[in-house]
Structure 1
């Protein structure tokens, strides 16, 4: 049920993004849309694909809040894993080129070992705090580069290898 809910949220975000981008050309719209894509390859036939759509609302010209989701598929010679995440975010923009933000994510993870067939399901909450730089790419669209830290991360208790994550994304509507 959790997977279906999160997958539905991701699809609605993409459909909403395509509808708003096609129908709104004015800057009076307070809605923002964007997200990121990730792709990684590594040893032992490692492959990772990630999609992270986001929908926001400009509360003021500098403050934006919204919801972000992500879906990640990983596999290698030994295991495969699917991870869904969803949660609210808040960004504060200053000097039109920088931002600080917070992002609370609830992750649901399903992992399967290929040789034994052992399945492992878990969930984890992450609170990311950080910031970064924004570069205008035209027509109220921006590329965002930054770094976030999960303040809830605990060594040997988390599914993640560390608390830091680099962020690269695109936003339309700022």
Structure 2
């Protein structure tokens, strides 16, 4: 199977606050000042609507095993370094390794979190549950739910105030016996994130 190349659009997942409040205070020399300067304004938290982010990814694999996936997401930035959210998962698969070809729609969801430990690097944890359609020995097909626990991390490089390039490597540490993937196969994503 070819490596998986995902080209994603993850809006502000790793970007953090783009603008921080700046305090400016001026004072007059003592000989002229008649009233004390007002206390500095308190720092305000980032508005709730700026903490919510939307995005997702699109993935494609071609060959005897053709796959097209869409994974929309919505997340929340809890702190400048910690974010998390939910992701929907849908994939269309055409597997020519079987006779007749297996055509299936797989679907599921996941919960994820990311911790930026330095500005350009993050740790990622994600629990996913996907319902897969498999070919049976009798030539039919059946649906099986498969859990995944992805752990790994990534690097991100800002391209502009609203866009970043990233590379991410995750491993499924559960290794469920029904997983369609090889043992300890890395899940590599490379793409561009755009904030709206």
* TM-score past 0.5 threshold: yes
Q: How many residues are treated as equivalent by the alignment?
A: 146
1:32 aligns with 2:43: no
Alignment of 1:144-155 (within 5 A): 144-154=166-176
1:169 offset after TM fit, Å? 4.7
Higher-strand-fraction structure: 1
The higher relative CO (CA closer than 8 Å, separation ≥ 6) is in: 2
Counterpart in the other structure of 2:150? 128
TM-score normalized with structure 1 length? 0.72
Q: How far, CA to CA, are the matches of 1:143 and 1:121 in structure 2?
A: 36
Q: How far, CA to CA, are the matches of 1:33 and 1:134 in structure 2?
A: 17
Q: Does the CA-based 8 Å contact 2:74-2:85 persist in structure 1?
A: yes
Counterpart in the other structure of 1:85? 108
Alignment of 1:102-121 (within 5 A): 102-111=125-134, 118-121=140-143
Secondary structure of 2:175's aligned partner:
coil
Deviations 1:92-116 (A, max 9, x none): 1132211101000011112457xx7
Higher-helix-fraction structure: 1
Deviations 1:104-148 (A, max 9, x none): 0011112457xx750211001101000010122323333331111
Secondary structure of 1:42's aligned partner:
coil
Residue segments in structure 2 that go unaligned for 5+ positions in a row: 1-10, 12-17, 20-45
Q: Quick check: which has more Rg, 1 or 2?
A: 2
Alpha carbons of structure 1 residues 102 and 137: separation in structure 2 relative to 1, 3 Å: same
Counterpart in the other structure of 1:50? 69
Residue segments in structure 1 that go unaligned for 5+ positions in a row: 1-16, 18-25
Alpha carbons of structure 1 residues 85 and 35: separation in structure 2 relative to 1, 3 Å: same
